[in-house]
Structure 1
Amino acid sequence: MDFKKTKYGRFMNNRVPSDKRYQPTEYEHAANCATHAVWIIPSILGSSFLYFLSDDHWETIMAWIYGFGLSGLFTTSTVFHTVSWKKSHLRTVEQRVHMCDRIAIYFFIAASYAPWLNLRELGPWAWHMRWMVWIMACVGTLYIFLFHERYKIIEFIFYTAMAAVPALVILSMHDRDGLFELAIGGAFYSLGTVFFKSDGLIPFAHAIWHLFVAMGAGTHYYAIWRYLYTPGSGQVKTSR
């Protein structure tokens, strides 16, 4: 398919219809890869740090779950954008990796909530949300397998709903420490969606979205480290 260059030349191609996938320029491809690849090692190291700070088996389990979700997000994103950049004849592989990239987002959201839902004393709905968040991730995964790239607005709504619904339970925390950081991280993700939907309108829009994701994830990591794993933070484990 022939994409005419915009006035930004090598920095952005023309916008495409909603039922088509935007084709980044070479520079945008490189930026898309770099802006998430750079966080793979820090996410693994940060997750390992939480593991070594764990005081009991539940903190250890949550560190593993959160760590896999965090590092998995940056890794699958980087692999997808690399394959997409160098795909040549790998169109089927690109499709499969793209699906993995989308699925990783669902499980990253669930993994990001897991420490708060399991290591903090919450309101009466907390017990249900501990498993509901994973049910939502599985439903999202099924949706990807059945309708990948067919109804993009519905997929976007699914991601937004999954990110917002568990937050209502988090607000029931008796200990409010960390709530400000959680809100700031959520604001980064929300602002980033403006760029997520701006390919062909703003040069490097997707790479900018990646940076907002990194800032949101970094803020939430800080909150988990500071208020759930730092010695003397005073977290209260939920009863089981």
Structure 2
Amino acid sequence: MDHTVEVPPIQPEQEWANAWTHGFSAVLWCVVGAWLVRSSAGEPGLAIACGVYAASVVTTFACSTLSHVFLEQPWLDRFRACDQAAIYLMIIGTYTPIAYAYSPAGWRIPLLTAMWVAALAGFFNKAVRMHRLHSISVVSYLLLGWLPAIPLIRNVPVELAYAMFIGGVLYSLGTIFLMNDRRAPYLHAVWHLMVLSASLVHAIGIAWYVVEPIQNSAL
């Protein structure tokens, strides 16, 4: 007896929902990122860290949008590779201003270097080598998302830890929709909205408990 489950094809309206959700996210994050950089302008190092953070998030949302707009080869695989690769940058980009502000004494440069080496290795593997392009590297995303918290958790304010935890949970729960997005319509768009929600929770935490304290101490 054949137990094969037929996977329904993705309809054009679903792809447009996927494109619009992250297209909107990219535009919104241009505003959020500009505000974070401007708010941290009094501390050049933090402003650079926030700029890297914002650029990584905007890049990820933009690549995701393009991967759902250009559906013909070879553009589909190229943008899909960039989309999957940029997630590594977004994960570590989010940690960058936090590591800048709250790394243990003497560990700022080594920690930032280690995080970015890991992110760039993942990026290269997906964007250049196009390794396992038609599968999602959820395990590596989750590991990269949670492991850098270990050396930082004792130093960050508890409120920031809560914000990062809530955002991390939203990302992690969102992967359930990502892994099952062919089982029902619009689950991939739900994943996109979970990613946007998590990114905004992280942005609020960074604005309130990274940017604001450093700016106040500089006054």
TM-score interval, smaller chain: 0.7 to 0.9
Q: Contact 1:227–1:235 (CA<8 Å) still a contact in 2?
A: no
Cα pair distance change 1:163/1:211, threshold 3 Å? same
| Residue of structure 2 in register with 1:103 after alignment | 85
Counterpart residue number, 1:149: 132
Equivalent position of 2:60 in the other structure: 73
Residues 24 and 106 of structure 1: is their aligned pair in 2 closer, same or farther, counting only changes over 3 Å? Answer: same
Q: 1:216 to 1:99 in 2, by over 3 A?
A: same
Q: Secondary structure at the match of 2:147?
A: helix
Normalised by the length of structure 2, the TM-score is 0.87
Letter in 2 for 1:101: D
Listed as ranges, the gaps of 5+ residues in structure 2 are none
CA pair 118-162 structure 1, distance change in 2 beyond 3 A? same
Please tell me whether residue 53 in structure 1 is matched to residue 45 in structure 2: no
State whether residues 182 and 219 of structure 1, in contact with CA within 8 Å, keep that contact through their aligned partners in structure 2: yes
Residue identity (%): 24
Contact 1:36 1:75 in 2 (8 A): yes
List aligned pairs for 1:15-164, cutoff 5 A: 15=7, 23-54=9-40, 55-84=42-71, 87=72, 91-122=73-104, 127-144=109-126, 145-149=128-132, 152=135, 155-164=137-146
Residues 1:171 and 2:158 aligned together: no
* TM-score normalised by the chain length of structure 1: 0.80
Counterpart amino acid of residue 180 in structure 1: Y
Rounded to whole Å, the distance in 2 between the matches of 1:143 and 1:75 is: 19
Aligned to 1:217: 199
Alignment partner of 1:194 out of 157, 160, 176: 176
Could you list the structure 1 runs, at least 4 aligned residues long, displaced by more than 4 angstroms after superposition: 123-127, 231-236
Over the aligned positions, Cα root-mean-square deviation in angstroms equals 2.4
Q: List gaps (5 residues or longer) in structure 1.
A: 1-5, 7-13, 17-22
Higher-helix-fraction structure: 2
Say which SS state the counterpart of residue 162 (structure 1) adopts.
helix
Displacement after TM superposition at 1:235 (Å): 7.3
Partners in 1 of 2:216 and 2:63 — Cα distance?
A: 35
C-alpha distance after superposition, 1:197-236 (max 9, x if no partner): 0022122111111011011001001101111112677679
Q: How many residues align?
A: 212
**What code does the residue aligned with 1:64 have?**
G
Distance 1:59 1:140 in 2: 25
